[in-house]
Amino acid sequence: MALVVTQPDRRRGRGSGLLPTPVKAAAVELGLPVTDQVDDVLAAGAELGVVVAYGRLVRPHVLDALPMVNLHFSLLPRWRGAAPVERAILAGDSETGVCLMGLEVGLDTGPVYRRATVRIGDEETADELRRRLVELGTGLLVDALATGLGEGEPQAGEPTYAAKLDAEELCLDWSRPADELERIVRVGRAWTTFRGRRLKVLRACGHHVTGAGLIAPTGEGVLELVEVQPEGRGSMAAAEWARGVRWQQGDRMGS
């Protein structure tokens, strides 16, 4: 029997009612049974569990009863943990990948059954990279289910850990080099302040300047802001925003 386990329904947005996760909505549409209790798999009669970005630990008694594999979006043992895609971009990694691994009690420590490597584009965002990795990982998983997992390889090398990002890490420190700030913007949810008001930076470029956006000085080089979102407003071209606030030469972000 197939069973889908996902997070409980939650309120999304001010004043809204409980809404299902996208996983639950898709499962219901396909007529698959859904639960938010992982222990329900114990009575499902399944042969294998597949875990993708579940966001919760699976307890040992469940793993003892049902073997599970996990799609992890890094080249293990580099970037074990919650935010491997974001950490790879922030670190300036030139490549990453996806691993189909056995799920263990330890944090992303299991044997690797399949892996594939991709190059990270110079301007690629975390969302864009994650979509590529999902597509690639789906292929690995389908192949493994069709042909068998085979023998897993133990992870080799020095582990690094991808802790979940907090809001302060996404605040742009304008004393840092432009290429570092650009990587933070590519991760998503980057923000700064200008004249005491918060400004989200949605797109920016630090490795080449086109002149079409807003040029902001940094600790090393300049960052060209392309798209921003002021408090209480929608996204807009950074150049349009700069005209509205009457940006002048000598103005600095983070004020």
Strands 95-102 and 68-72: antiparallel
Matching residue, tokens 């009669």: 45
At 105, the pLDDT band (50, 70, 90 cuts) reads very high
**Rg (the chain; Cα; Å):** 22
pLDDT for the residue numbered 66: 95
**51 and 89 in contact (C-beta within 8 Å)?**
no
**205 and 224 in contact (C-beta within 8 Å)?**
yes
Cα torsion 132, 188, 162, 172: sign: positive
> Is the confidence at residue 15, as pLDDT, over 90?
no
DSSP state of 167: G
> Is the confidence at residue 249, as pLDDT, over 90?
no
At 34, the pLDDT band (50, 70, 90 cuts) reads very high
Start-to-end CA span in the chain (Å): 58
> Is the confidence at residue 87, as pLDDT, over 80?
yes
Q: Model confidence over 52-81: pLDDT tens digits? A: 988 888 999 999 999 999 999 999 999 999
CA atoms within a 13 Å half-sphere pointing along the CA-CB vector of 112: 21
**130 and 88 in contact (C-beta within 8 Å)?**
no
CATH H superfamily, domain 47-162:
Formyl transferase, N-terminal domain (3.40.50.170)
CA 90, CA 31: separation in Å to the nearest integer? 40
At 221, the pLDDT band (50, 70, 90 cuts) reads very high
pLDDT for the residue numbered 211: 84
Q: Where in the chain is the domain with CATH 3.40.50.170?
A: 47-162
Q: Closest Cα partner for 70 from 130, 141, 152?
A: 141
Token pair of 134, please?
């999902």
Q: Where in the chain is the domain with CATH 3.10.25.10?
A: 167-245
Give the predicted TM-score (pTM) of the model.
0.93
Q: Closest Cα partner for 34 from 7, 3, 65?
A: 3
**Architecture (CATH level 2) of domain 167-245:** Roll (3.10)
Token pair of 19, please?
């809404």
Average pLDDT for 78-107: 97
